Structure 1
Amino acid sequence: MEPFKVHILGCGSALPTLRHNPSSQVVEIREKQFMIDCGEGTQTQMRRSRVGFNKVMAIFISHIHGDHCFGLIGMLSSFGLLGRTMPLSIYGPKELGPILDTLLTTFCNDFDYEIKFHAVDTSRQEVVYEDRSLTVETIPLKHRLPCAGYLFREKPTLPHIRRDMIDFYRIPISQINNIKNGASWIDEEGNVIPNSRLTRPADPPRSYAYCSDTCYLPGLADRLKDVTCLYHESTYADEDEDKAQKYFHSTARQAAMVARDAGVGRLLLGHYSSKYNTEDVLLQQAKEVFAESSLTSEGMVVTL
């Protein structure tokens, strides 16, 4: 099975602390890397996590609150200083476009790589990126500014060849691709060897959803059905549900309700308020609703 990992670079909220950095993650899938959000300090976190700067193919920004994008221009500048030549695509709400243009003109006007900005519609769920191995969809969220989450879906792979059967029936290597694509084999005596005997089922496609920042949206579960792993903001505990409602954030319990209703495989909690000295209460309240809940922390690598 090809690697599908999520590197947690920052899982705090607006105010950086000595325990947590602002939001940023890198999704690594089939030797490609994609960044989600780029809060202050992301570059340092990448170095600590040994995530390569030159492998990032695209950056997805959820919204233009500072704790999700203050690190972006510094990151782009470092890419240039490191001699990057590969084009870079940036996806985010349309409001990010003019801000990005001003910053690039001021600080990054002499680098040797092209930056392409793609405005996303935060009100619709649609595919905004696609290549041979995956798609990335937007997830409409509800926050104080236009905001979108991102859903990474691995494309189905071909079945696995049973090497023992290939050798037993003396099937030429030239026929392997045909068999992977569903062909059976006819031996020298005219017997049909069914494809099911020559292959094992492909690995089930995996998926990862990133939802930060948003108030509790009961209908969000319908957009996340059976996702392998969900990261959902859990800024507050139950005692601060009024603050969550006021600032369009979610509690850990509400995040767990979304995970439960969507039938996801695993819930990752993050975007913690700086008021908490420990997130144990958030984890406890989430687990009361959805047992497969866990806290994120900087440097953590989640393998799907």
Structure 2
Amino acid sequence: MKLTILGCYAATPRTLTNPTAQLIEIKNRLFLIDCGEGTQVQLRKNKIKFSKINQIFISHLHGDHFYGLIGLISTFSLLNRNNDLHIFGPKGIKEIILLQLKLSNSWPNFGLFFHELTSNQSEVIFEDDKVLVKTIPLKHRVYTNGFLFEEKLDQRKLNIEAVQKYQIEKCYYQNIKNGKDILLDNGTLVSNNELTFDPEKPKSYAFCSDTAYNEAIIPIIENVDILYHEATFLQSEANLAAKTMHSTAKEAATIAQKAQVKQLVLGHYSTRYDAISLFKEEAETIFPNVLLADDGESFEL
């Protein structure tokens, strides 16, 4: 699992900072989370093969989280994309995108599918044989969701030495990886635990932006490997955070502590501050394992 930060600053793009967009790579699948202005440029800068992106998750309909979407869709068409593209986002995202495509007479030459979200409860919105994605209902000025990405448990791993010891033929390997015991020709039943190793523990990533402090999300994100939580303000501007329904670094750290996550990544910084290191310093007074997102930064699990 690899997380690449394409943009992590609040409100408007600047010369050296970009609005929210992230790419999460899970078992050779690429998922784009939010698509602020300039996202496709950031994808190129980070040498990401964005033709492999088949699912895009939009948290809410504030411009700094989706204004790059129509440009990315248009570029996909220009590059003669063939794969279907699925967009998950709040009700209204379909109308916004289709109107732009209609008035510009720029209909894509690939399947474009919208999955509009309206529930205020956590729900599974995407699932395949490797990954499951759930919504994390957030508390913002408009309808907003975060997203929880969970790996599914892999097959068991062959213990080659044990398999060769019992001279088991290769045609049985798949059954063994599926967890089955093996009956030898001499009538001996060999336990699967002797023939395999446990698979790696599935990893999880929770994306939470934008939101006011909201303890209701704790049961959903509990014990995740990495939590990205917005920290638009420092505690000295807690009044602004409350007014705009954003969080402070201290509040993000409090959520991380109460949810017992393994690692907290902060982002969505207001550009009013001179250094983002201030956010880490504040959060570490509450929660020890804090990293700072920054444009172009990557985190591997």
Give the TM-score band, short-chain normalised: over 0.9
- 1:204 matched to 2:210? The reply is no
One-letter amino acid of the counterpart of residue 241, structure 1: A
The equivalent residue for 1:129 is 126
Which amino acid is 1:204 matched to?
A: K
Question: Residue 236 of structure 1: which of 233, 237, 243 is its match?
Answer: 233
Superposed displacement of residue 19, structure 1: 3.4
Matching residue of 2:293: 296
Q: Decide whether aligned partners of structure 1 residues 210 and 108 sit closer, same or farther in structure 2, where only a CA change above 3 A counts.
A: farther
Give the TM-score of the pair, scaled to structure 2: 0.97
For 2:99, give the aligned amino acid.
T
Matched residue type, 1:9:
L
CA contact (8 A) 1:122 1:147 kept: no
Name the SS of the counterpart of 2:172 in structure 1.
Answer: helix
Q: 1:107 to 1:135 in 2, by over 3 A?
A: farther
**1:218 and 2:215 aligned:** yes
Q: 2:110 aligns with which of 110, 113, 131?
A: 113
- Does residue 17 of structure 2 align to residue 9 of structure 1? no
Q: Are 1:275 and 2:272 counterparts?
A: yes
Q: Counterpart in 2 of 1:150?
A: 147
Structure 2 match to 1:85? 82
1:257 paired residue among 239, 254, 258: 254
Q: CA deviation at 1:192?
A: 2.4
CA contact (8 A) 1:122 1:141 kept: no
8 Å CA contact 1:17, 1:274 repeated in 2: no
Deviation at 1:100, TM superposition (A): 1.6
Cα distance in 2, alignment partners of residues 121 and 131 from structure 1: 22
Distance 1:22 1:174 in 2: 52
Q: Which residue of 2 aligns with 1:97?
A: 94
Q: Which letter maps to 1:83?
A: N
Q: Kindly provide the CA deviation profile for residues 177-213 of structure 1, in whole angstroms up to 9, marking residues without a partner as x.
A: 1111222223343332211111111111111111000
SS in 1 for 2:59: coil
| Aligned position for 1:141 | 138
Normalised by the length of structure 1, the TM-score is: 0.96
Structure 1: distance between partners of 2:161 and 2:103: 61
1:66 corresponds to which of 39, 63, 66: 63
Gaps of 5+ in 1: none
Say if 1:24 and 1:38, in contact at 8 Å, map to a contact too: yes
Secondary structure in 1 matching 2:34: strand
Q: 1:250 is paired with a residue of what secondary structure?
A: coil
Deviation at 1:281, TM superposition (A): 1.1
Q: Is the 8 A contact 1:23 1:67 kept in 2?
A: yes
- Give the superposition deviation at 1:53: 2.0
2:54 counterpart SS class: strand
Query: Which is worse superposed, 104-113 or 161-170?
Result: 104-113
Is 1:76–1:108's contact at 8 Å kept on the other side of the alignment? Answer: no
Percent of aligned pairs sharing the same letter: 39
Instruction: Name the residue aligned to 1:168.
Output: 165
Unaligned stretches of 5+ residues in structure 2: none
Whether contact under 8 Å (1:230, 1:264) holds in the other structure is: yes
How far is the alpha carbon of 1:214 from its aligned partner?
Answer: 0.2
Instruction: Provide, for residues 45-76 of structure 1, a one-character-per-residue CA deviation record: whole Å limited to 9, x for no partner.
Output: 10111111211011110001010011110110
Mapped to 2, the partners of 1:240 and 1:232 lie a distance apart of: 17
Q: 1:34 aligns with which of 31, 41, 63?
A: 31
Deviations 1:88-108 (CA, angstroms, capped at 9, x unpaired): 011100022221221121236
* 1:15 counterpart letter in structure 2: T
Partner SS for 2:215: coil
CA contact (8 A) 1:7 1:27 kept: yes
The answer to whether the 8 Å contact 1:122/1:146 transfers is no
Q: 1:122 touches 1:148 (CA, 8 Å); kept in 2?
A: no
Q: Hey, what's the Cα distance between the residues in 1 that align with 2:262 and 2:156?
A: 23
CA distance in 2, matches of 1:98, 1:188: 64
